[in-house]
Amino acid sequence: MHASREIAAMVQALLRGCLELITQATCPLCGRPAEPESWRGRDQPQPCQACRQSLELETQPGLCGLEPMPWWALGLYQGALRSLLLRQRREPNSQAIPCLARSLAITLPAPLRELSVVAIPSWKRRANPLPLLICQGLGLPRLALLERSRATLGQHHLNRRLRALNQEGAFRVVPGGVSRSRRSRQGLLLVDDILTTGATAMAAAAALEDAGYPVLGLLCLARTPAPGRELRSCGAAERPAGIAQLVEQATENRRVPSSNLGPGILS
Q: Domain locations in the chain?
A: 43-53+60-226+233-260
Residue 63 to residue 230: CA distance in whole angstroms:
10
Residue 102 has pLDDT above 90, yes or no: yes
Give φ, ψ of 202 to 5 degrees.
-65, -40
CA torsion angle for 193, 195, 196, 199 (degrees, to 10)?
Answer: 110
Find out whether 215 and 188 touch, Cβ atoms under 8 Å. yes
Residue 136 has pLDDT above 80, yes or no: yes
pTM: 0.73
Average pLDDT score over residue span 236-242: 42
Confidence of residue 64 (pLDDT cuts 50, 70, 90): very high
Residue 101, burial from CB neighbour count under 10 angstroms (0-12, 13-18, 19+): buried
Within 8 A by CB and 6+ apart from 34, the residues are 25, 26, 27, 45, 46, 48
DSSP 188-216: EEEEEEEESSSHHHHHHHHHHHHTT--EE
Closest CA to 222 of 260, 183, 196: 196
Residue 237 has pLDDT above 70, yes or no: no
Residue 169 has pLDDT above 50, yes or no: yes
Give the per-residue pLDDT at 34: 72
Please tell me the number of Cα atoms within 13 Å of 184 on its side-chain side.
Answer: 15
> Long-range pairs for 87-95 at CB < 8 Å and ≥24 separation?
88/130, 89/128, 89/129, 89/130, 89/193, 92/129, 92/130, 92/133, 93/28, 94/133, 95/28
Residue 175 to residue 157: CA distance in whole angstroms:
33
Give the per-residue pLDDT at 158: 62
Give the per-residue pLDDT at 18: 61
Average pLDDT score over residue span 165-173: 69
Residue 81 has pLDDT above 90, yes or no: yes
Q: What is the pLDDT of residues 186-211, one digit of tens each?
A: 789 999 999 988 888 999 999 999 89
Residue 51 has pLDDT above 50, yes or no: yes
Give the per-residue pLDDT at 147: 83
Residue 157 has pLDDT above 50, yes or no: yes
DSSP-assigned letter for residue 152: -
Give φ, ψ of 193 to 5 degrees.
-80, -40
Give the per-residue pLDDT at 140: 95
Give the per-residue pLDDT at 195: 94
Residue 45 has pLDDT above 90, yes or no: no
Topology of the domain comprising 43-53+60-226+233-260: Rossmann fold (3.40.50)
Average pLDDT, the chain: 75
